[in-house]
Amino acid sequence: MKVLLIEDDACTAALVAAGLSEAGHSVEHAADGIEGLRLAREGSYDVAVVDRMLPGIDGLNLARMLRAAGIQTPLLFLTTMSGIDDRVDGLEAGGDDYLVKPYAFPELLARVNALGRRPLLATVRTVLRVADLEMDLIARKVRRAGRTIELQPREFQLLEFLLRNAGCLVTRRQLLENVWEFQFDPKTNIVETHMSRLRAKVDRGFDCWLIETVRGSGYLLRGLPS
């Protein structure tokens, strides 16, 4: 099986990855929540093993964002947070199983194997929402506060990428690679021009602005998917 391990403690990550690899699994590791979210969205994994306390994006919000994006990869929380409320929070956020540290590796392996045998849910998310902004991927329609927003095809792609990464900083390079499919920087203001047009359509005339420019870093669609 292909396993995504999202764990910021280098020692724990090395031990878990080595044990899973010895058991015949292919393991890819992310050391923080942001990288883990990116890998989970872009790759195809049979199981994800996720720490609760992660830098960048914590495990609970990472799980919520994956489920909101329609990603149903079975998720095992691996954490020191052992309270009943902690377990409930993890499961309600979208986790499928919960294992408390310290643990016996054979139990971890058994739980990973069990999750990998579960059939994935057949649900595919066709509507993306953040705050009062809604995108229907089938009808190719965008509305905010009930008002229809007309977008050009590239603007639609740009907004879809922002919605799928809501709450996370998106860099110019990521937009060039994922929206324009450029593997190089064309040294033009193509991103800035399209983003300016998109912000004018999505934010102008509304009570609050959702798309934020983070100077020198990129862009952020504020809020979490719902």
Helices (H), 43-184: 59-68, 84-92, 105-117, 153-164, 172-178
Q: What is the average pLDDT value for the chain, to the nearest integer?
A: 89
Return the CA Rg of the chain: 19
**Structure-model confidence comparison of residues 21 and 167, the more confident one:** 21
Q: Do strands 133-136 and 141-144 pair parallel, antiparallel, or not at all (unpaired)? A: antiparallel
What residues does each domain of the chain span? 2-117, 127-221
Return the H-helix or E-strand segment holding 34.
helix 33-42
**What CATH number has the domain spanning 2-117?**
3.40.50.2300
65: alpha, beta or left? (left if phi > 0; alpha if psi -120 to 50)? alpha
Answer for the pair 89, 70: CB distance below 8 angstroms, yes or no. no
Give the Cα separation of 108 and 78 in Å (integer).
Answer: 9
Band of residue 83 on the pLDDT scale cut at 50, 70, 90: confident
**For residue 173, is pLDDT > 50?**
yes
* CA nearest to 147, candidates 193, 205, 208: 205
Check whether 139 has a pLDDT greater than 50: yes
226: pLDDT strictly greater than 70: no
Region 106-125: mean pLDDT is 77
Q: Could you give the C-alpha distances from 124 to 136, 137, 188, in angstroms and in order? A: 12, 11, 36
- Extract the tokens encoding 29: 């590791």
pLDDT for 30 beyond 90: yes
For the 127-221 domain, the top CATH level (class) is mainly alpha
What's the pLDDT band for 69 if we cut at 50, 70, 90?
confident
Region 69-74: mean pLDDT is 86
Q: Is pLDDT of 111 > 80?
A: yes
Is the pLDDT score of 93 beyond 60? yes
Q: Do domains 2-117 and 127-221 have the same CATH topology?
A: no
Give yes or no for residue 122 having a pLDDT over 50.
Answer: no
Residue 25 confidence (pLDDT): 93
